Amino acid sequence: MAERTPASLPAIQRHWDEWNSRWRFREDHDTFMAGQRDVAVSVARAAGENMRILDVGCGTGWLGQALLPFGRVWGTDLSADAIADGSRRYAELTLICGDFFEVDIPGPFDFVVSADALVHMPDYEAFMQRIAGLLKPGGTFLLMTQNPDIWRRRSLIRHAPEWMPHARPEDWPSLGRLRTLLRSSFTIERVTTMDPGGDRGLVWWVENRYVRGGMSRLVGRERWRAILERAGLGRELVIIARRS
């Protein structure tokens, strides 16, 4: 296989401009976004009040907007179009456009959240180091990121262009890899998953309507969903960590 040529930063930025215009320039939240929002609000509520909060990979700022009751919120994203749209929608947020590894961000923060921004970052270790440098000691880091073990077993997936960093689920960091990356600067407090579903290999039964319907009748739909999430069968990893 020929070696892929890395994309330039402007090309990656154009990709995310187009992605956000298709999926995030909207007033409503789909059920997955609502689930991410509910997790972030719950973790922020437990973390404290009057906090300095940073949303990494914020897109339009839709998630940061939900965190305003807990403090002042900054957000950063590579997509200039998303930042412009978010600045119009959410005037209470401070949104910063730029490369996360280079842009000036006014830390330190009490709470940092990142939802689905990690997997296409070019350097996972540098990402974690940057997060650690922006958090106060004892501060909370909420990482929500794609679970590659499940995404590899899903038929319905919109693949990133091959020239993107870490374009395929096979390239994404596993839970074990994430634990290793976090270990030097964080104490992991909780790990779970959200949004179960897969239809290939050993997890095909999660989306089998007969099994899902039967277990929903037996234990209840929400309880069955919670069982699958605790078993690590959600497509989204949710990690809550404390800055050492």
| Residue entry with tokens 């270990």 | 183
**CA atoms of 224 and 215, how far apart (whole Å):** 6
Determine contact, residues 242/138, Cβ cutoff 8 Å: yes
Which segments of the chain does DSSP mark as H helices, in order? 9-23, 31-47, 62-66, 80-89, 124-134, 148-151, 175-183, 209-219, 221-230
Tokens of 159: 């693949």
Q: What does the domain layout of the chain look like in residue ranges?
A: 9-243
Task: Give SS3 for 48.
Answer: coil
Tokens of 173: 């960091």
Give the single-character DSSP code of 165. T
pLDDT digits (tens, 9 = 90+) for 206-241: 666 667 677 777 888 788 788 888 889 899 999 999
Higher pLDDT, 39 or 15: 39
| Residue entry with tokens 């730029």 | 98
**Residue 21 pLDDT class (50, 70, 90 cuts):** confident
Check whether the bond before 108 is cis (ω within 30° of 0). yes
Determine contact, residues 57/77, Cβ cutoff 8 Å: yes
Provide the edge-to-edge strand list for the sheet that holds 71-77. 94-97, 71-77, 51-56, 109-115, 135-146, 234-243, 186-196
Determine contact, residues 197/235, Cβ cutoff 8 Å: yes
pLDDT digits (tens, 9 = 90+) for 156-201: 777 788 888 999 999 999 999 999 999 999 999 999 999 987 777 7
**CA atoms of 41 and 24, how far apart (whole Å):** 19
Backbone angles phi, psi at 91, to 5 degrees: -65, -20
Q: What is the pTM of this model?
A: 0.92
Provide the CATH topology of domain 9-243: Rossmann fold (3.40.50)
pLDDT for 3 equals 41
**CA atoms of 64 and 36, how far apart (whole Å):** 11
Residue 197: name the closest of 160, 167, 234, 172 by CA.
Answer: 234
